[in-house]
Structure 1
Amino acid sequence: MPRRLLTDAGLALALLLMTLGPWLASYLMTDQKKAQSLIPVGYAWWVLAGLIMAGLLLRRQSPLLALALAGAGVFGHLISQTKFQLLDLAALPLMMYTVAAGARRRRTAVIVLAALMSLTYVSMLINRVQVDEETLRAEKDAKAAKEGQVIERTVIGSTRPAQAPHWWVDPVVDTSQAALEMWLLLVAAYAVGDGMRSRRAHLAAVEQRTADLAREERQRAALAVAAERTRITRELHDVVAHGMSVMVVQAQGAAAALDRHPERTATALQHVIETGRSSLAEMRRLLAANRTVPAELAPLPGIAAVPALVDQLRSAGMRIELHIDGVPEVVPAAVDLSAYRIVQEALTNTLKHAGPAATAQVTLCFEPERLRVEVLDDGPGPGGGAAGPGPDGPGAGGADGHGSGLRGIAERVTMLGGVLETGQRPGGGFRLGALLPVTG
């Protein structure tokens, strides 16, 4: 702010010195009387010049107040003098530029432009009328002194009727020609200021748009991170729930066979080790997504891994029937992984809640436009089966479908645009069915 104020002060002082330059040069090089005739040096002129300089100093802080001060000074000069001074010729267009560049609406600047042009013309017309009256009065005084009062009356009486119809034409035309210079400067200042205002508005809009895009990008990144965390959490739940359930069942079998069938204990413990290593490897694969160091990772499981999953659970003592209808075809990666996870979660719930005597049935039906996945068990009625309440909380796999396991399955199916059906079977047990689209 102080630097701008000093700049405006220097500009006002430079305009004043350039305006007074011819008078100062004439004052130093010629006689004082001739110098005084070049510019008005009365107190009124200096007061009006002070108003103009005050307007130049305030044009950045308060454009409208500065315009009023500078306009009062310029119009006062135009009324009292016959031609533009450099201070007047530069101050008024500069004020017009400042108002046009800082106005919030273009209409405001247009109104100010029209007012300045009108006031400029009126001020110059008043000066012209005053000059004409003074000239006419001087001519009348000269004639009266030379020819006498009688001749003056005769001359005036004979000439006035001829001049009356046309006395206003010359002042109006001459004033219009004289004001044209100021009008052109005002219009040019308005055009430049309006262009600057438009440019600033455009830059502000671009900056706002850039800020909005940056904010949207940050929001999209945050949503992507949240979605990725949700996906990793869901995958970890499936891996940990399945692996731990199988390991617990196999460990229980090993403990039961330790006294009577020691040879079976070693086999069960070997299954526990293999299941634990497989689960740890899959957990490392999921958690390695946030690491910068690449690791040796296994591929994501899919429908082709369902038979191996069934064999693994059979080795833990589960009775599982696997049926595959139709010809397996290439399906999208998301459908491939989701189908495997759905079977894995359903069998894990059966292992945990259906009881040791339950039998599960897994059906994969390949159709032209969809894949049907169905998991049935014949465990106890409500409170048991593939979706009975368990460690996940009340109804973790229950028929109400509010457990973490079924919530994860429902999220997968919804994301793929499929249909999920869960509930108790009429004869006992639980049914889980999912229709996954494989096209589109």
Structure 2
Amino acid sequence: MHLYGTQSVNNLGHLTIGGVDTVDLTHMYGTPLLVYDIALFKERATAFKETFAKAGIKAQVAYASKAFSSIAIYEVAKEMGLSLDVVSGGELYTAAAADFPREKIHFHGNNKSYTELQFAFDEKIGCIVVDNFLEIEMLKEISESRKEKMNVLLRVTPGVEASTHDYITTGQEDSKFGFDLKNGQADDAVLKLYNHPYITVLGMHCHIGSQIFETDAFRFAAEALMEKMIEWREKFKFICPVLNLGGGFGIRYTEEDKPLHPSAYVEEMEDVVLSMTRKHNYPMPEIWIEPGRSLVGDAGTTLYTTGSSKEVPGVRTYVAVDGGMSDNIRPALYEAKYTAATANRMLDPHADIVTIAGKCCESGDKLIEDAYIAEPAEGDIIAVFCTGAYTYSMASNYNRLPKPAIVFCENGQHQLVVRRETYEDIIRLDIPLQRTEQEISS
């Protein structure tokens, strides 16, 4: 089995994360439990930043926090000198609660509301990534009525189709996101904004998809945006000081995945931009990127307790755990693959092939098919690896299941950063029917 970051096995045969025994964590916090290896998050953040620094390129590395949002992870991102990518008023509110530096917050989204845009002005954030023409008109109205300035990037679709799942491909022309780079929409957008008295266009943004392993797609996207920036200089006498090339860098979920080191993606982008700026005598833009999954994905591990099991002779053996699609929808949503281990018996042979099933009332609630674990027994702790991205942020209360607790581990220490939901939390927003005395008596 492949262990990640600071994961190890102690003399009790237990999985440890950040020097902390995961079995002890389950005794203290219960299961399901999402555990983050914070040292691995920091290592990845440092790798992205250092690659730009070594090349002498001015850059911002923004944590794409839709992967996992909480006050605590925003505080770690702030500590590491990262910027922050938010996509809703809720994420911006969380960032404000974490006292994240407002000038380093970038607000994304394809359908920001007027209220959300006002909130961004209230907080005086660093940049809004504009996605459509309605948003342009709302930004004009808000900035002019307030007489307040705002920096923006224009999100464009460069026509690059990355090799990834259809649900997480976003850079192709047929996308709900951004202005098309080839049909004139991007040109129209920049003309509407770049001479505005309160709105400063910093440049362009693209995001071509998620869980991408090859670098060609990133090179093509960088070339497409640089060509358009050079064209805008000629047509409009406008030079973009910022080029945001998004994220989407892949991680290893299973042994079949072959991710590159974070520096490899950055170096390819750097190469394209440096080459084209030199060739066309174009001022070197500040490069922004937005890693999310590649910072938190394999830093997260979910711990479950096994319960019932069922053998279907000649077909499969089901082993049920106390979570499932309510805390990790990805396998059911787009057939995401994971690996697992028996955290309380790591030294036992992991030779039994089982299907790890969740407890939700859905036949499709299967976390892993063909998982190799130690011979299962009731009460075992199952660790599902690489669950740090798009699990808690996409979790639900389906079947009225409470969301799990979250713990950060580092240097032998652990800290609860999100408490487990209670049944009281589940009904907190419910309002009973208001009945008259006559209705009650009848």
**Which one scores higher on RCO, CA 8 angstroms, separation ≥ 6?**
2
Bigger proportion of residues as helix: 1
TM-score range, shorter chain: under 0.3
Q: What TM-score comes out, normalization by structure 1 length?
A: 0.23
Q: Of the two, which has the highest radius of gyration?
A: 1
Bigger proportion of residues as strand: 2
Q: What TM-score comes out, normalization by structure 2 length?
A: 0.23
